[in-house]
Structure 1
Amino acid sequence: MITTPELPAPSARSARSTAPAPRLRLATPGLLPRRLDGAWWPRSYDLLTELPQLLAALPRAWGHIAGVTVHGGAWAASPGRMFVCNQVVRLRKSVAGHAPDTVVLLAPGHGRWDLLVVPPDTGEAAAEPLMAAVAGSRAA
C-alpha cells in the first residue's frame, strides 16, 4: 500500500499552493440519468500523483471514494490500494475495451460516478470544449 500526504480540504488550501489545481468539470445534476458525470484532465498518467488531487477536489456529497477503476492500458503501474486523505482507496485496472477513456469512482452507500479522462497531452484548445460538453451533456 502506498501512502500519500493528506491534502487539506479545497476551502482550506492557500492560493499559493504549490500543487496545481485539478482540472475537473462535473456535470450539473438533472432529471435524466447521465452516462458521464463529468470530465477530468490529469497532467500525467501517474495515478499516485494525480488521484489524490482528484479525490480532494470532489464534492463532499459524493462521500468517501473507496474504489477507483481505470483502463489498465493507459495508466502507469500502480499498487492495488493507496492511502489518500487518511482513507484507503482500492485501485483497479480494467482491460475492457468499452470505456478506455473513463475513470470510475465508487463510494459505498453514495453511488458510482464515471468521469471522462481527457488525455494529459491534449492541448487546452481541445480539452476545454470537450470538458464543457461533457459537463453540460444529458444522457438519452
Structure 2
Amino acid sequence: MATALQPPPPSHPLLRLRLAPRGNLPRPIDGAWWPRSYDLLAELPRLLAGLPRTWGHITSVTVNGATWPAGPGRMLVANQVLRLRRNLAPSAPHTIVLLTPGQGRWDLVVVAPDTTEEAAGPLMAAAADGDV
C-alpha cells in the first residue's frame, strides 16, 4: 500500500498581512495584519520580517495598550533595537503604528487573533482597499 507524502508544515507560520497598493497619496490605513496570538514579542519579529524593504528599518511600534498585554519598552529584532509604545487612546483600538525615522509612518488594522478565517478575510480586504 502506497502512502502519499505530505510536505512538512512550514517551520514559520505564514504571515497574515495584506497591504494597500502603493500610491502617491497618503492613506489613513496602510493595510491589515492578522497575528496568530496576543504575544507581541513573538508576533512582531514575523511582522517586521514580512514588511516591504521600501518601508525601511522600523524603529518604533505603537500598539493599543488595552488590546495587547504589557511588555518591555524595547526589544531586539534582527539585531536592531525596536522601541515599543502603548497607546490607550480609544480612537485607534485595533491598529498598530510602525515608524521609520525620515521615511514614514504606516498604520495597520489589527484583526484579532481569535477571528475566524471567514470573518478575517473581508476585514483585511476592506483595510487594504481603504474601506475601514
Distance 1:19 1:37 in 2: 24
Tell whether the 8 Å contact from 1:32 to 1:138 is kept in structure 2 after alignment: no
* Alignment of structure 1 residues 16-95 onto 2, 5 Å: 17-95=10-88
Amino acid of the structure 2 residue aligned with 1:101: H
Q: Which runs of 4+ in 1 moved over 3 A?
A: none
Distance 1:120 1:22 in 2: 12
With 16-25 and 82-91 compared, the bigger mean Cα shift is at 16-25
What is the aligned-residue identity percentage?
Answer: 64
Judging changes above 3 Å, is the alpha-carbon distance between structure 1 residues 138 and 126 closer, same or farther for their aligned structure 2 residues? closer
TM-score (norm 2): 0.89
> Where do 5+ consecutive residues of structure 1 fail to align?
1-14
Distance 2:85 2:17 in 1: 21
Distance 2:33 2:72 in 1: 21
Q: Helix, strand or coil for the counterpart of 2:108?
A: strand
Amino acid of the structure 2 residue aligned with 1:41: W
Tell whether the 8 Å contact from 1:103 to 1:114 is kept in structure 2 after alignment: yes
Amino acid of the structure 2 residue aligned with 1:36: I
TM-score (norm 1): 0.84
Say how many residue pairs are matched. 125
How far did 1:77 drift?
2.2
Radius of gyration: which is bigger?
2
How far did 1:49 drift?
0.5
Q: Helix, strand or coil for the counterpart of 2:122?
A: helix
Corresponding residue of 2:128: 135
With 41-50 and 128-137 compared, the bigger mean Cα shift is at 128-137
Amino acid of the structure 1 residue aligned with 2:121: E
After superposition, the CA RMSD in angstroms is: 1.6
